[in-house]
Structure 1
Amino acid sequence: MKNINLKYRGKNKSTNILSFKFDLFINKNQTLLGDLVLCKKIIEKESLKYQKTLESRWAHMIIHGTLHLLGYDHKNKKEKKIMEKIENKIMLFLNYEKPYFMKSS
């Protein structure tokens, strides 16, 4: 994962997930968004660190990466807040706990 992150993002460190946007129309109502590359070792460590089930952590990472493929990001506070709110909403819809605890505004 570290090598892929360095090659494609210029960051010399490992990460839990990388998203590579593709956006290719296939058929009526079918579009390939891109690829997700997930690091099993990091996701397993994070599930322990954040006290989440492994299934919940995997679900969160796939949702997180898919949102990147859909154009969401977290480069600044405003974007981060929007993305985390969507992730929380999807996780709750899928009967998982919220991955983020939002501060009241």
Structure 2
Amino acid sequence: MKYRKKNYPTNILSFQLNFFIKKNINILGDLVICKNIIEKESLKYNKKLESRWAHMVIHGMLHLIGYDHKNNEEQKKMEKIENKIMLSLNYEKPYL
């Protein structure tokens, strides 16, 4: 099945909602995570499974609040934030 003109599985998809519900609780959106790919990537990148999960949730949440990696500048900015958050949670940097 194609999504965003891509016909291959991915580790995480982020779907922004950006609307308020009762009592002004802001829902950012939904994250759809592929467990099998996360497990394979943790082995491929030699990362602990918990760390890989944490990284993917952080990555997806950054997408929900407007970050992207469509070009080099955006990618470097997003990776720097991911590294900072991961370190603050006592995980290794996902990017060098």
Q: TM-score, normalised by structure 1?
A: 0.87
Bigger RCO (CA 8 Å, 6+ sep): 2
Q: 1:9 aligns with which of 4, 16, 37?
A: 4
Q: Secondary structure at the match of 2:6?
A: coil
Alignment match, 1:78:
73
CA displacement at 1:96 relative to structure 2: 0.3
Alignment match, 1:45:
40
Q: Which runs of 4+ in 1 moved over 3 A?
A: none
* C-alpha RMSD of matched pairs (Å): 0.9
Alignment match, 1:91:
86
CA displacement at 1:9 relative to structure 2: 1.6
2:30 is the alignment partner of 1:35: yes
Q: Secondary structure at the match of 1:31?
A: strand
Q: TM-score, normalised by structure 2?
A: 0.94
CA distances 1:68-104 after superposition (whole Å, capped 9, x unpaired): 0000000000000000000000000000000000xxx
Distance 2:35 2:79 in 1: 22
Runs of 5+ consecutive residues of structure 2 not aligned to the other structure = none
Distance 2:18 2:67 in 1: 14
Runs of 5+ consecutive residues of structure 1 not aligned to the other structure = none
Alignment match, 2:60:
65
Distance 1:10 1:83 in 2: 22
Alignment match, 1:24:
19
Question: How many residues matched?
Answer: 95
Letter in 1 for 2:71: N
